[in-house]
Amino acid sequence: MATMVGRAAVDALAMETKVSLNATPSALASDPRSNSQATPRDWDEAADVVIIGSGFAGLAAAIEARNAGATVTLLEKMKSCGGNSMISDGLIAAAGTPMQEKAGIVDSPESMYKDMLQAGLGLNHPDLAQKVATGSAGVLQWTIDYLGVKYLDGIDQLGGHSVPRTLTPCRRSGSVIVKQQLARVKELGVKVKTRTYLQRILRNSAGRVQGVLVRDGYTFPHASGGMPRHIQAGKAVILASGGFANDLSFRAAQDPRLTQEVDSTNKACTTAETLREALRIGAMPVQLASIQLAPWTSPDEKGNGVGPDFAYIALPYGIVIDPTTGQRFMNELADRKIRADAILKAGQPCIGLTDAKGIERSSYRIDHCLRKGVVKQFDELRDLAAAYGIPFEALKETIKRYNRYVGKKLDQEFAKPILPGAEPLTHPPYYAMRLWPKVHHTMGGVQINARAQVLDLAQQPIQGLYAAGEVTGGIHGACRLGSCAITDCLVFGRIAGKNAAAEKTQK
């Protein structure tokens, strides 16, 4: 079904449209029926490798391409670099690391690969998922040794992972990684152009990508402005433009449930213009309808907010309750799709709760969430029940039953893994937050091979075109495991950069 939707998207791009994406830059695109292979007689500027997007994937690609000896121009449509990567939590999954060995955690790339396939419902493209899993430990070490990223002590187990394998950078922010990447990019002499919007991917008569047409000086989100400039890519173009969580018309075309009424955790700039352009020139769409909803977000704040930190750091030591019944209804450490679907099925925001011991065990600093009012503190369980309209006796019985599971280290209802150090929920004060899913990640995108080359509808590489990160599809299947996105971006960003730089220079 996802492939059919993807083909429909390609067909739709063959027709002229006047749809406005909330005043996003789609209006800048010229007639889709124009000759996509036209190249100018004279280029305004040139580089060996031209990269679209300056998040984790684009910056990793820029670093590797430059280190391989290529000249690199990095294009970013916003006025500053980093994109959605800057507001991510920075969590990175890696299997078989020295940190795990030191902590006595037995793990392997094969185990991580199996976890990815299970969460992805077997829809993952095996060669791509395997590449992420096998490259995970190496790319984590690269961030430490080459970029100088520092991580917090402790290894977390996120939902859907069979063992703890997730590390968190200091300050719990992806900006820590991005800033280190940007420092390297500057040191290497990569040319960075902000406020530069991709309008066309340009190919020669043989179909080989030779460069791009951009709008230089563009201001998001206004659908006008900027001077047209042709930038030649002597070796290759790399697409690293991210996902389309805030492209309302495009995402709703893939999943009609995702109307403007559904919020997103992403920056407003996560739109689909680069993906649309890749599809227009014949890139194979993969699983565009696979759009992930975050099960840890709160309806009591806009966007991602501060609540998710509490939800995925502290709540694993607690439970989630349906407020109408006072009962649990899911494995709170299942993968994201299972949890989001379960909350949606409940039909209203649900309540995640833990106690003081859960906060202590998770080492989570809760003051910020309390000040914002997203998480609330209760000295008595009865007060918590009253605040959210939960039947108190039912809630009390649910917690009593769950506490028995904690004591036995076995959840007999939902098979939730009982984390090491977890204790019964008997230590007030109690902390609670309302949960309701928001659009978080788009698993679908263009198809690539293990070399990060973009494939066409005949499954052949589009010469001179690479892609990495959320603009690609197939790696995560139906559901991306938490903390695997940054791993994916860095692994394939580096692959794309190295291989693009190795391309033969075109005259």
Confidence at residue 223, expressed as pLDDT on a 0 to 100 scale: 61
Paired strand residues for 197: 215
- Mean pLDDT, residues 42-50 taken together: 96
pLDDT tens, 428-478? 999 999 999 999 999 999 999 999 999 999 999 999 999 999 999 999 999
Q: Which domains does the chain have, with CATH numbers?
A: 2-83+183-291+441-501 (3.50.50.60), 86-173 (no CATH), 296-436 (3.90.700.10)
Q: DSSP class of residue 326?
A: T
Contact 391, 351 (CB under 8 A): no
Active site residue 336: yes
pTM (predicted TM-score): 0.86
Phi, psi values for residue 29, rounded to 5°: -65, 140
Query: How many helices (DSSP H) and strands (DSSP E) are in the chain?
Result: 15, 18
Identify whether 32 is preceded by a cis peptide bond (ω within 30 of 0): no
Model confidence band, residue 40 (pLDDT cutoffs 50, 70, 90) = confident
- What distance in Å separates the CA atoms of residue 226 and residue 221, rounded to the nearest whole number? 12
User: Do residues 246 and 268 lie in contact, with contact meaning Cβ atoms separated by under 8 Å?
Assistant: yes
Query: Is the C-alpha dihedral spanning 168, 171, 173, 175 positive or negative?
Result: negative
Q: Of these residues, 251, 336, 361, 480, which one is catalytic?
A: 336
C-alpha torsion 380→381→387→393, nearest 10:
-140
Q: Could you please report the per-residue DSSP string of 223-273?
A: S---EEEEEEEEEEEEE-----TT-HHHHHHH-TT--TTS-BSS-TT---H
**Phi, psi of 351, deg, nearest 5:** -115, 120
Mean pLDDT along residues 19-48: 56
User: What pLDDT, in 10s, does the model give residues 217-243?
Assistant: 999 987 667 899 999 999 999 999 999
